[in-house]
């Protein structure tokens, strides 16, 4: 890049190194974006900048959406200099100063995805076209995430994905304008399989109930491949509509299937209802093939555990983050969130707060709101202090790579929030995969679209 005509800050990349120390920042000429584009969509002209928070305020993932919105509001408060600053104080990058983003006060608009792709696209489109949102973030469904990510690519704004766990989000449906901090189905399976092998052995037969959309399909594919690689057999995989509330007709056939493990590839209200049904059918008291019948929930959350109550005791799963972590970033976030709302945050809240901070930080380092400048600042960015340890936004697919947590339902919880215990922190190296891995094949990242 040329060294002439620097923007106010230029493009600054920092890398977290071992022990949390930072490499010397590298400055790039951010004027390349002004040279390459006459402008960009929804460039802020006044003293404020508008972000669009698109979350499920209704539908089966509404509990997750409510916590996401709480986190977004907290992030905006911190960016604008309010509260105690939260993870801005522990973030390895020090570009954020609590004076908004690039000196502009952060405002926001919200939408309801309804956990439906069409509704989510319409909501995001309205926020972009009517409200002038320069970035869209949110969602608790991978179907929603893929749909909105595609819309943002077409429109020319950055999409900072919320809770989306399908391999496809940064696989065949990846986009240059889209970025995911949350982990994915492959990572869950890679973390869980060794723990399941150690606890339940290699001679097991699994029956899968799977949410019938992109997340369920890729989560099931991932966990089946990982468990079969260690010797398990698969009795059946039955797809369940996302709108299902009564799972009794899906659970009943498990009883005579010969399976001794039920894998619930369900999330949110679906998981609460399917697990409740499985317990009501007495599966956890059964013995099959001379073994205790077990249930596995590959993707867990505190909110789901709370909804399912005592039924989660002893059940293994994985999470992207948990409020009981003791690193400085997690402690800072839990403190800020708890003081504002009176209870600890969920993993959905965590990833949404972090995504907002990462976007704001990228804008500061790039010295621009141009989505292509922000994308350049995020690609290959290494950071620490945001609750997951050392993390990298891989440039080739815009997927964050970091450690993954394996958890199980606590046998003796001390409160309604203390329901999961961390049994293993799986290192990044164990869950990493090549960009061209078959489960992520197809589709091209493409080029950033600035929208103007």
Domain ranges (residues) in the chain: 48-183+323-397, 186-319
The CATH classification number of 186-319 equals 3.40.50.2300
Distances (CA, A) of 177 to 125, 150, 151, 152, 169: 15, 9, 10, 7, 12
Beta-carbon count within 10 A of 435 CB: 15
Average pLDDT over residues 329-349: 97
Average pLDDT over residues 178-189: 98
91: confidence class by pLDDT, cuts 50, 70, 90: very high
Q: What is the pLDDT of residue 24?
A: 36
Q: What is the mean pLDDT of the chain?
A: 91
The CATH classification number of 48-183+323-397 equals 3.40.50.2300
**pLDDT tens string 221-241:** 999 999 999 999 999 999 999
Beta-carbon count within 10 A of 19 CB: 7
Q: What is the pLDDT of residue 37?
A: 41
**pLDDT at residue 160 tops 80:** yes
Strands (E), 261-398: 261-265, 287-288, 291-292, 294-299, 316-319, 382-383, 391-393
Residue 390 CA to its chain's centroid (Å)? 16
Its pTM stands at 0.91
Q: What is the pLDDT of residue 219?
A: 97
Rounded Cα distance, 372 and 449, in Å: 7
Residues 6 or more apart from 300 whose CB is under 8 A from it? Answer: 317, 318, 319, 407, 420
Average pLDDT over residues 126-153: 94
């Amino acid at each position: 890049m040329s060294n002439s005509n620097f923007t106010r800050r230029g493009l600054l990349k920092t890398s977290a190194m071992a022990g949390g120390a930072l490499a010397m920042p590298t400055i790039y000429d951010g004027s390349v974006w002004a040279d390459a584009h006459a402008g960009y969509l929804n460039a802020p002209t006044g003293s404020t900048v508008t972000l669009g928070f698109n979350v499920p305020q209704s539908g089966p993932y509404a509990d997750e959406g409510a916590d996401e919105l709480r986190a977004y509001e907290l992030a905006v408060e911190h960016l604008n200099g309010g509260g105690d600053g939260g993870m801005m104080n522990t973030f390895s990058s020090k570009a954020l100063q609590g004076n908004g983003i690039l000196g502009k006060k952060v405002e926001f608009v919200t939408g309801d995805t309804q956990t439906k792709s069409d509704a989510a696209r319409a909501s995001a489109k309205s926020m972009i076209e009517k409200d002038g949102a320069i970035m869209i973030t949110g969602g608790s469904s991978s179907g929603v995430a893929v749909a909105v990510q595609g819309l943002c690519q077409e429109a020319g704004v950055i999409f900072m994905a919320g809770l989306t766990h399908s391999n496809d989000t940064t696989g065949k449906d990846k986009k240059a304008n889209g970025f995911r901090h949350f982990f994915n189905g492959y990572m869950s399976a890679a973390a869980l399989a060794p723990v399941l092998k150690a606890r339940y052995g290699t001679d097991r037969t699994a029956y899968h109930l799977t949410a019938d959309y992109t997340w369920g399909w890729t989560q099931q594919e991932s966990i089946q491949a990982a468990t079969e690689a260690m010797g398990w057999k698969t009795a059946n995989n039955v797809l369940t509509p996302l709108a299902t509330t009564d799972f009794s007709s899906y659970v009943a056939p498990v009883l005579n299937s010969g399976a001794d493990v039920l894998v619930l590839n369900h999330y949110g209200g679906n998981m609460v209802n399917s697990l409740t049904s499985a317990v009501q059918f007495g599966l956890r008291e059964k013995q099959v093939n001379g073994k205790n019948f077990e249930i596995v929930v590959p993707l867990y959350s505190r909110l789901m555990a709370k909804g399912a109550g005592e039924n989660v005791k002893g059940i293994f799963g994985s999470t992207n983050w948990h409020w009981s972590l003791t690193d400085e970033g997690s402690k800072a976030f839990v403190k800020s969130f708890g003081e504002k709302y009176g209870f600890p945050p969920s993993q959905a809240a965590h990833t949404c707060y972090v995504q907002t901070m990462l976007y704001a930080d990228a804008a500061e380092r790039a010295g621009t709101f141009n989505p292509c400048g922000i994308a350049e600042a995020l690609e290959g960015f290494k950071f620490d202090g945001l609750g997951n340890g050392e993390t990298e936004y891989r440039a080739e697919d815009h997927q964050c790579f970091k450690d993954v947590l394996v958890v199980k339902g606590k046998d003796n919880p001390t409160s309604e929030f203390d329901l999961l215990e961390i049994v293993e922190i799986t290192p990044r190296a164990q869950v990493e995969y090549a960009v061209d891995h078959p489960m992520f094949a197809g589709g091209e990242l493409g080029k950033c679209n600035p929208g103007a």
